[in-house]
Each structure stands twice: as C-alpha cells, then as structure tokens.
Amino acid sequence: MRRILSTTQRELTVHFPVRMADGVVQVFTGYRVQHNTTRGPGKGGIRYHPSVSLNEVKALAMWMTWKCAVVGIPYGGAKGGVVCDPKGMSAQQLETLTRRYTTEIELLIGPDRDIPAPDVNTNAQTMAWIMDTYSMHHGYTALAVVTGKPLSIGGSEGRNEATARGAVYTIIEASKHLGMDLEGARVVVQGFGNAGSFSAKLMAELGAVIVGLSDTSGAIANTKGLDPNRV
C-alpha cells in the first residue's frame, strides 16, 4: 500500500499555443496529475500561476487523495495547473488558454474519470469554459465534468466561500484547543483571493480584528482594524 501511494497513477504534461493581445503566439505548459483513483474519480482543482510545476501538482494531487479519504468522499486525488501569469492576461486570452488546455487534458477528465474544480487564480467562469469545451468535444452537455460552476449551469450554493469556511472552522476548533477567545483576536491574512477574502470576512463576523491583509500586489495594515468588505 505504501509503495502504491508513494507515486502517482498518471501524469500528463501538455504544451499548447495561445495568441496574445500583441499578436505574438506564446506556448504555455500545463499539467494534469491523477495520484490515485481507487476510491473513485479523481478530484482536484486547476491553478493558474507562474510558479506551477509538475512536482507541485503531483504533491497537491496526493493531498487530494488524503483529503477525500479522510472525510469519506468517494473520490480519488488529482490536480492540474498551467504555468502562466493570469493577472497580466485579458478575459479573452484566459478563455482561449482555458479552452486549449481543456482540449489537451480532455482525454483524462470526465464525470466518471477526473473532475476538476477551481483553485488558485481560477473560478466559476473558468469551470464554465472547461465544461463547455468538454461538452462540445463529446456532443452532449456534461455538467458533471467540473464542480465550482456558476449557479446558472448547475453550480452549488455556497461554493465560493466553501474553502474559507473550512479554514475558519479549523481556526475555531484550534482556538478552543488553545483556550483562545476569537472575540477581539488580532488577525493577519496573507493572500486576499477567494479563500483569503472570504476568510477575512468570516473572521470579522466572529468578532476578530483584521489588522493586516496582503497579496501579490502589496500589503496594508491598521492596528485599529480593517473592514474586509471595503478593501
């Protein structure tokens, strides 16, 4: 068992071209890794980031195997990513990149094989593009090929803040163990994307004081507290 779980089941590396706004064709590298699908279809997000690497995706796919198993969800572990800087790309370029990437990994994913989800720098719109591209290739609407879709095409209520709620529930339990009162506790949040922003809002609702926030663009601090809803 240890030998089986110490390695990945499948690894796919793809290279695909995308025409940028200046007309230059840039070749991007993407990955999709299935660590283990013994318990069911692979499950794991897709991230867009300049530092994405095969080793990182393999490690994250392994974590998904453990996470699904620990909470008794009948899925295996998988993960994907594209090496890119989405913050410097237009919505049209991101759509083109997503659809090309989906075309390349389409042989691995599917409702009964491997189900992607949002992750770093990807969101419900990204999942809609993946679902649409996969559906066009297969000739029928395959809503179940991804999770984290917009509500209008079968997404789940509460999905946007789900990761943050998980983090906050963990903080609540940790504070009980430490005998710490979250009312008035000072909190700094590193990363103010989907998970970070919702975590800050939820912590503020619990009475914590958000004294610092940061992301890749910089950081702000206020010892008297920040309002996450206004940042």
User: Is 224 a known active-site residue?
Assistant: no
List the structure tokens of 126. 């990204």
152: Cβ contacts below 8 Å, ≥ 6 apart: none
> Which residues have C-beta within 8 Å of that of residue 159, sequence separation ≥ 6?
124, 147, 148
Quote the CA–CA distance of 195 and 120 in Å, as a whole number.
9
Helix 159-178 / helix 194-205 crossing angle, nearest 10 deg: 50
Q: Which of 43, 58, 67, 79 is catalytic?
A: 79
Q: How far is CA 129 from CA 12, 103, 115, in A?
A: 20, 11, 14
Catalytic positions, written as ranges: 79
